[in-house]
Chains A and B, each alone.
Chain A
């Protein structure tokens, strides 16, 4: 069976700076993949390329066999229109480091706006679905609160509920706990673990090494825009083969 996500030789340059230097990954349906690495290794850029928040400089991305962000006309690849691209993004959930909740909408408003405006659900349907999702992340009692009245951990959980309401095939997490106070990290990781247990396909960029070890089927270590090493957590995290991986993990332990 085709992998759910296939990334083929992805390159990304910002001016002269090569942030991704040829990355290829396959992610199977239901697989949980964690991407770790030092800052500047390109892991966030890789994630942002998957839903085309960054346009790759070269290489291709497929979800369920469908090209993302471009289409083939004859033997040429051309970029999709805004409308076509938006359609593809509906299937890809993205959780941001800084939550990016919509401050002018309540928690429920944040969770229902895309189902209403993008999927065309009625307000009743969307609100029913929204309530379910907020309940799932443990925020049933906060549906009418505005984001500024919520803690960072609560905001991030609303952001996850907002993604879930779109019923995406694939969920991407971009350092979802990095902007949180230490005592708020646990509640977000708990929700992510719950999603992992439901068998969702997830790609997680994280600094939480222990969490990545517990949740993921595969850990990918990136450095300088390339994949240095990947495999099951117990080998990459506890018995790394590459000196660069060992150095990185040692660094983390010393912190």
Chain B
């Protein structure tokens, strides 16, 4: 059977089967995104802290999680944690792994955003009697958000694609279903191409959004 015959006869079956993986893919993407946003902010604030120990911790964290493969981190959590007495479910391992990994990238995005705000803004907030934390919350972060929106959208796209590795710890998302289909039908080319197309359906609109946010940002400046 040629590739095109396969697509014609089995394409729809592949497509509907793989679509069944979307809820799990999205759940992992959304949960680890939120996780990365929160932990990333904490790491960024530590990175910018006046205490050397916190800065040092944040730098080590960022270097470690950016410098080792996400798959290795995932395996350490899923296969390594049971050794210290905690067995995460595949889903838990996936969101913690991708979340901790993503936090390292988010921390750098936050840092760049915060540092892009003129020092006078912090001084004005402090001189009005705000604590540094309050100033960060009400004055610095809302402004930094504008600058950070395009890189955060890009990060979300990368994260969505990276969810394709979590099949390795047993999460049944698009990629896991694709592998099952290949085992069942031996049609690697058709199955994986359709899987890729499913990701594209979401990532293309997202990158269009990122480009639009980028243009809007330039219009503000």
Contacts and interface: CB of A to CB of B under 8 A. Distances in A.
Contacts of B139: 102, 113
Interface residues of B, number: 20
Contacts of B138: 113, 117
A114 interface: yes
A89 B143 contact: no
Interface string B197-208: 000000000000
B62 to A, nearest CB: 25
A82 B49 CA distance: 13
A96 B128 contact: no
Contact of A118 (B124, B130, B133, B142): B130
Given A96-B120, A102-B139, A53 B128 contact: no
Interface of B: 118, 120-121, 123-134, 138-139, 142-143, 146
B124 A96 contact: yes
A114 B130 contact: yes
Instruction: Name the 10 nearest CB pairs between A and B, nearest first.
Output: A90-B129, A100-B124, A114-B128, A94-B127, A100-B120, A118-B129, A86-B131, A89-B129, A82-B131, A86-B129
B121 A53 contact: no
Nearest to B142: A104
Contacts of A93: 127
A100 B126 contact: no
Interface of B is mostly: helix
Contacts, number: 63
Contacts of A72: none
Contacts of A86: 126, 129-131, 134
Interface of A: 51, 53, 82-83, 86-87, 89-90, 92-94, 96, 98, 100-104, 113-114, 117-119, 159, 162-163, 166
A94 B123 CA distance: 10
A89 B126 contact: yes
A141 B132 CA distance: 32
B128 A98 contact: no
Contacts of B128: 89-90, 113-114, 118, 162-163, 166
A92 B127 contact: yes
A103 B123 contact: no
A117 B129 CA distance: 9
Contacts of B143: 102-104
Contacts of B120: 96, 98, 100
Contact of A114 (B118, B129, B142): B129
Given A98-B120, A100-B120, A53 B129 contact: no
29 contacts: A53-B123, A53-B126, A53-B127, A82-B131, A82-B132, A82-B133, A86-B130, A86-B131, A87-B129, A89-B126, A89-B127, A90-B128, A92-B127, A96-B123, A100-B120, A100-B121, A101-B124, A102-B121, A102-B124, A104-B146, A113-B128, A114-B128, A114-B129, A117-B134, A118-B130, A118-B134, A119-B129, A159-B124, A166-B128
Contacts of A53: 123, 126-127
A93 B126 CA distance: 11
B134 A51 contact: no
A98 B132 CA distance: 20
A189 B159 CA distance: 54
A163 B125 CA distance: 11
